[in-house]
Structure 1
Amino acid sequence: MEMPSVVTTLRDAAADVTYNVRAYRKLSRQELLQSVGLFLGQRKRKKLKRGTVITIITVIGASD
């Protein structure tokens, strides 16, 4: 199976963090927020460094 190629970006201006979520199709706003929320929930350390770019890989859209 190929890696997801569609990138949807979410920028948190307050924390100065950018999230690039890779999926098999363009994500809705709700799916994007859910993916970022799941990522943040799995982290041990709560705070990210300012200016960080995070890439999240998801399987959303693989079976569409």
Structure 2
Amino acid sequence: MAAQRIPLNFFGMSFGLTGLAGCWVTVGDQGHVSDVVGDAFRAFAADGGLSRLPVPARP
């Protein structure tokens, strides 16, 4: 059985949200915005990334 190929943009949304969360937290550390939004982006990105992981099929 050949290995399943994963497209290059498979985790693109999770990586993008993680970068947005990092920017939001950095600006929050400077006191311009709330850190809560950045933490929510991080949680959403982690949930989206974990839910897209391939689950091996049982034989």
Fold shared, TM-score > 0.5 on shorter chain: no
**Structure number with higher strand proportion:** 1
Say which one has the larger Rg: 2
Q: Name the structure with the higher helix share.
A: 2
